[in-house]
Every structure is written in structure tokens, then in C-alpha cells.
Amino acid sequence: MSATGTVAGREAAGTPDSMNTGGPSADTAAPVLRRHRRGRMVAAGLVAAVVALFLAGVLLGSYLVSLPDFFRLLAGAQIPGASFIVMENRLPRAVVGIMTGIAFGLAGSIFQTMLRNPLASPDIIGISYGASAGAVAAMVLFGAAGFAVSAAAMAGALLVALLIYVLSHRHAGPSNAASSRLILTGIGCAAILQALVSYLLTRADVRTAQAALVWLNGSLNSSNWDRAAVLAACLLVLLPAAAALSRSLRGLEMGDDAAAGLGVTVAPARLGLVTVAVLLAAAATAAAGPVAFVAFLSAPIARRLLRGRASLAVSALVGAVIVLAADFAAATVLPQFLTNGTALPVGVVTGALGAPFLLWLLVSANRVGRGG
């Protein structure tokens, strides 16, 4: 987020990034080539981290599973005890963790890049609150559980996103005011939804309230294959869409006028990007709850790793690493020292780590005049 980093990001914004399949052309300048090599190294490192954390989450814990046993289980062998723990509990958990991380990372990256504001991620501007309000309403008022809660969360997120878009949309006026209007409208909606959630919590029995609270924190505890399948289906559609729109996104990052100059049709591109990002955030929230700060942190971390260049693919990988690492800490490491064996929701760890980083980011973003 430093000034030089921003400049570098703008310079490189016209070149293909790792989301595109084509490599750099032969006549590209040497510094760009070096940056691309760095991009590939970062991506490879992140993939390795994802694999390592995935294996750690699946194999380690109060019941240890050896690597050969894990492969035998994957091949379909039945091992008493291990079969259930790995195949029904840890594996779906890790798979859902990876996918929510990818979805949150992408959604946050798209929002922050498009609105040109490092703080404008879906968890700050109200979309996650929409999902929360939908899910808590379903739990408290209708006693819903499992899939119904996910569906309510999805519906809530989409409704609120639509509301924010409609309320902040105006034909007249300068286009850079559109971003700040969207952000402020989102914050207003977030405030009223938060009041609604608080009210619902006072209406519920304290057990229901606590179950709702676990969900509000974001938790992978109730992951299962059904949830993984739904999320995978969503990602199958949304990931290619995000890849297809990534070119317009790089145009919009430089400002609406510059984007129009580059041949991006601004309004439809904006609408498409908002839709994809909202759907990604909604799908991830429906699967795991609003895991705090993953959407918010992924893109800035990715930018740091790439020395200022923005990349959707790297943001998505960073998101996956954050969720897997936080869940490993919350479910396996911390319970042994802190909470007498109760697994914490993953959102507790991301929230506790995210808040200080957020403050630091606010300070540095404002100092260089990019805070809004």
C-alpha cells in the first residue's frame, strides 16, 4: 500500500497476470519479466502453503492419521475410527475451508480494486451483515438449521446487495462519487442490520442465541459434503466469470475515464463485477458464516507479496491460506492451551488477527491519501 507500490501496480496493470493463461511475450521489458517470475514464485509458494495446511488439518489433531493411511482412505479403504474422522469430519472441513477462502479472497479483491479503496470489502460495506441478518432471522424466528440457514444467508446477502446497489445508484453526477456513495450506503445498511441482529438475539432462547453467535463468527465446525458440493458448484460458475472480468477490473482500477479509454464499457463491467463479487461472498458466507476479515485482508496481503501488483488469483490463494491456517489454530492448536478442548470458531482467530492489521492498514492508507 506504499506510494511506490501503487505506482508499480499501475504500471503493471496493463500486462497479463497469473489469472490469464498466456505467459509474458518475448519483447516484454526486463523488469516486468522479473515481476512475472516473482508472481509465479509467490503463487507456487502459496499453493505449497495451502497443501501443507490442508494436510495438517486433515492428519493432525487429537487423533493422528498417517499420510499412507490418508491415501488408503482416499482410495476407498475402510480403517475403523480413521474412516469417520477423516472422511466425514476433517476432509470436508478442509475442503470447505479452501473454497470459502478462495471465494472470500476473490470477492474482497474485486470490491477493493473496483471501488479503489482498500477498506471497501464486503464485510465492511454491509453484504456480510445481510447474510448474518438472514441467517439469524431464520434460526431465531423459524428454528431453522443446516441447509435452510445457508439458504437464508444467501438470500439475505443478495437482497442487501441489491438494496445497496439500487439505493446508491444515480444516473447524474460524477462517477467517482458513485464509489463513495456505494460505500456509505453500505455502511448505513450495515448499521440497521446490526440492530436487527441484536434485537433477534434478545428475542431468542440463550442456547439459540449462542448457536447463532457461533454462526455469526464464521465457523467450519458444521462442514459436510453437502455444503462442500453446493459451494463447489457455485465456484465452478463464478471462478471463470471472475477470470473473464479480470481485464475490465484492471481497467476500472485506473479510474472510470481511463477504463473507458482502454475500451472497457464501464457500467456493464461494473455491474458484472459487483454481481460476481456479491455471489462469491454470499456463497462463502452461506457455507461457513461471515468469517471476519478474510475478504478484507486477502487483497492487501497479496499486493504486498507481489510488491504492489494486484492479482485476483494470488488474492484467492491468500484467502485460502488465511482460512486454513486460522481454522487449524482455532480447532487444533488453541483448544489445547486455552479453552479446555472446545474448538473455537475460525472467525475468532481471523478477527483477533485481523483487527490490528486493519488499524495499521487504515493508518498507512490514509497517510498516502488513498483512504477515501
Interface ranges with another protein (CB under 8 A): 117, 119-120, 123-125, 167-168, 170, 173, 177, 180-181, 183-185, 187-192, 195-196, 198-199, 201-203, 206, 209-210, 213-214, 216-217, 292-293, 296, 339, 342, 344-345, 347-348, 350-352, 354-356, 358-359, 362-363, 366-369, 371-372
Q: How far is the CB of 189 from another protein (least distance, A)?
A: 7
Residues with Cβ within 8 Å of 320's Cβ and at least 6 positions away in sequence, in order, are: 46, 50, 97, 98, 99, 101, 102, 105
Left if phi > 0, otherwise alpha if psi is -120 to 50, otherwise beta: which for 289? left
How many angstroms separate the CA atoms of 119 and 362, rounded? 8
C-beta closer to another protein: residue 48 or 355: 355
Q: How far apart are CA 19 and CA 278, in angstroms?
A: 20
Q: How far is the CB of 14 from another protein (least distance, A)?
A: 28
Instruction: Please report how close the Cβ of residue 369 comes to another protein at its closest, in angstroms.
Output: 5
For another protein, give the closer residue by CB, 114 or 228: 114
CB of 206 vs another protein, minimal distance in Å: 5
C-alpha span between 68 and 91 (Å, rounded): 15
| Comparison of 132 and 311: residue with beta carbon closer to another protein | 132
Nearest one of 136, 64, 58 to 98, comparing CA atoms: 58
User: 272 or 371, CB closer to another protein?
Assistant: 371
**Smallest separation, CB 45 to another protein (Å):** 28
Inter-CA distances, 370 with 12, 125, 216, 260, Å: 19, 17, 30, 22
Looking at the Cβ atoms of 68 and 173, the one nearer to another protein is 173
Q: Which of 298, 300, 291, 297 is nearest to 316 (CA)?
A: 298
